[in-house]
Structure 1
């Protein structure tokens, strides 16, 4: 369940980033999308790594 949530969030941040880069006035959305994507990926990696132990 947690993995599905992380994948959905990663896709949402990726779509927000693409929309932000597509429209020049929404560059702030692209920057927020990049930060949130990186944060979600890091949290997902840490949780997945800790569950293996």
Structure 2
């Protein structure tokens, strides 16, 4: 999810498309939150580990 967010950020920046930029930021933030929750041992979407 973080990788997809970064790709969308890059495409949105290069192509100057605002919606891709916004979606990229959202995906990076959500991916980071899910990664942190999973690494602390909390179940994320029914999984013990999220990576």
Please report the TM-score for the alignment, with normalisation by the length of structure 2: 0.70
Comparing both structures, which one devotes a greater share of its residues to helix?
1
Q: How far apart are the structure 2 equivalents of 1:21 and 1:28?
A: 10
Unaligned runs of 5+ in 1: 1-8
The runs of at least 4 aligned residues of structure 1 exceeding 2 Å deviation read: none
- Mapping for residues 22-37 of structure 1, pairs under 5 Å: 22-24=14-16, 26-37=17-28
Q: Which moved more, 1:15-24 or 1:42-51?
A: 42-51
- The root-mean-square deviation of aligned C-alpha atoms, in Å, is 1.3
Compare relative contact order (CA 8 Å, sep 6+) and give the higher one, 1 or 2. Answer: 1
Question: What TM-score, normalized by structure 1, do the two folds share?
Answer: 0.68
